[in-house]
Amino acid sequence: MRKFVLLFLLYFAITAVFSYQWPSNKDYLSSVFGSFTGDNILDGIEFDSENQAIYPITDGEIVFYQDSFEFGDLDYNGEEGNILILKHVGEFKSIYRNFSTSDSFTQTKNLSKSELIGVSSGVYDSFIFSLYDDKKDSYINPQQILPFLLDDRKPVISSVYIDNLETRGKLTRNISLNPGLSRIYIDAWDVVRIRGKYKKFTPFSVNVFVDGFERYNTSFSSLKEIDKTIYLSGNSDVPLKDIISGGTLLYGGDVYLTTGSSLIEIVIKDIEGNEASRSYPVVVK
């Protein structure tokens, strides 16, 4: 899977500078790929704007439009509204949901990136944009191909928690822990300046190291369904049930602790490569 993601990103890295644009005003970005509430996870990016223009991210062919729908190729989102799907060179599709349509695309089969497809309809009916890879039947994080937000701030790691012998506690330096299998959760977020204010977003990747060895490594790169189970599919495939098991906390994987002194390290990165880290010496006995 890691090889596929790298090849996919390499393809888009070569073409993105010349081909792709934000589907709507990025200053109204409100949620990013992988954001979750309860048992739902966002398969694209969301905008909370009203009356902002919506365009195709690049030239494409209309393959589907419906005024009203119960969305669910992966059968987990449940968002309702209208939907437009465009097919693009490279065997991927762009998906536009919840917007007020213009008349232009109803009279044509092909759309150029300069043709208006509609406007966002309001803050209570957010416009959602998704990107779907046909080869791998998975949703891809759109920010991997869209122009950068020019974000130079590091993510924030507020607290780290560990489920040790089925008891959750805050991870602190030199804390005493029991040996055996433990689960890590992280209270962390990316910080991006939007319209003059700093907003919290889901980070792009999570890495956990124990004594210098990587024990957990995933990124919010793609979502896919395998045997009716949704997986966050980045450097490793993680079931959705694990990703959302911490509520608003980021899942940091399972680690096995052995008796003695250990060092637990947490590394969080955003989509543009800014990095934050924390280190916790612990005593296992």
**Which residue in this structure is represented by tokens 């880290």?**
277
Q: What is the pLDDT of residue 257?
A: 96
Q: Work out the pLDDT band at 2, boundaries 50, 70, 90.
A: very low
**Residue 24 sits in the same domain as residue 85:** yes
Assess if residue 149 is contained within a domain: no
Q: How far is CA 277 from the centre of its chain?
A: 20
Residue from 236, 235, 184, 189 nearest 210 by CA = 184
User: Would the pLDDT of 17 be above 60?
Assistant: no
User: Range of 24's domain?
Assistant: 2-144
Residue from 123, 121, 118, 80 nearest 102 by CA = 118
Residue from 88, 135, 77 nearest 111 by CA = 88
Domain closes at, from 144, 179, 195: 144
Distances (CA, A) of 219 to 56, 183, 193, 237, 255: 26, 18, 22, 9, 18
**Structurally, how many domains does the chain consist of?**
2
**Residue 129 sits in the same domain as residue 179:** no
Q: Work out the pLDDT band at 69, boundaries 50, 70, 90.
A: low
pTM for the model stands at 0.86
Please tell me the distance from the alpha carbon of residue 49 to that of residue 121, in angstroms, as a whole number. Answer: 8
Q: Work out the pLDDT band at 5, boundaries 50, 70, 90.
A: very low
**Residue 95 sits in the same domain as residue 115:** yes
User: Would the pLDDT of 178 be above 80?
Assistant: yes
The CB-side HSE value for 274 (13 A sphere, CA atoms) comes to 17
**Residue 19 sits in the same domain as residue 99:** yes
User: Would the pLDDT of 70 be above 80?
Assistant: no
Q: What is the CATH number of the domain that holds 33?
A: 2.70.70.10
Q: What is the pLDDT of residue 106?
A: 62
**Residue 170 sits in the same domain as residue 276:** yes
**Residue 137 sits in the same domain as residue 12:** yes
Please tell me the distance from the alpha carbon of residue 208 to that of residue 268, in angstroms, as a whole number. Answer: 9
Domain closes at, from 144, 171, 193: 144
Please tell me the distance from the alpha carbon of residue 71 to that of residue 69, in angstroms, as a whole number. Answer: 6
pLDDT tens per residue across span 216-229: 999 999 999 988 89
Classified as helix, coil or strand, 14 is helix
**Residue 98 sits in the same domain as residue 193:** no
**Residue 135 sits in the same domain as residue 163:** no
Classified as helix, coil or strand, 134 is coil
Backbone φ and ψ of 202, nearest 5°: -65, 130
Residue from 124, 131, 63, 141 nearest 96 by CA = 131
Domain closes at, from 113, 144, 175: 144
The CB-side HSE value for 89 (13 A sphere, CA atoms) comes to 10
Q: What is the CATH number of the domain that holds 258?
A: 2.60.40.10
**Residue 179 sits in the same domain as residue 136:** no
**Residue 129 sits in the same domain as residue 165:** no
Please tell me the distance from the alpha carbon of residue 156 to that of residue 87, in angstroms, as a whole number. Answer: 37
Backbone φ and ψ of 219, nearest 5°: -135, 155
Amino acid at 4: F
**Residue 102 sits in the same domain as residue 162:** no
**Residue 90 sits in the same domain as residue 219:** no
Assess if residue 226 is contained within a domain: yes
Please tell me the distance from the alpha carbon of residue 258 to that of residue 143, in angstroms, as a whole number. Answer: 39
**Which residue in this structure is represented by tokens 């213009």?**
102
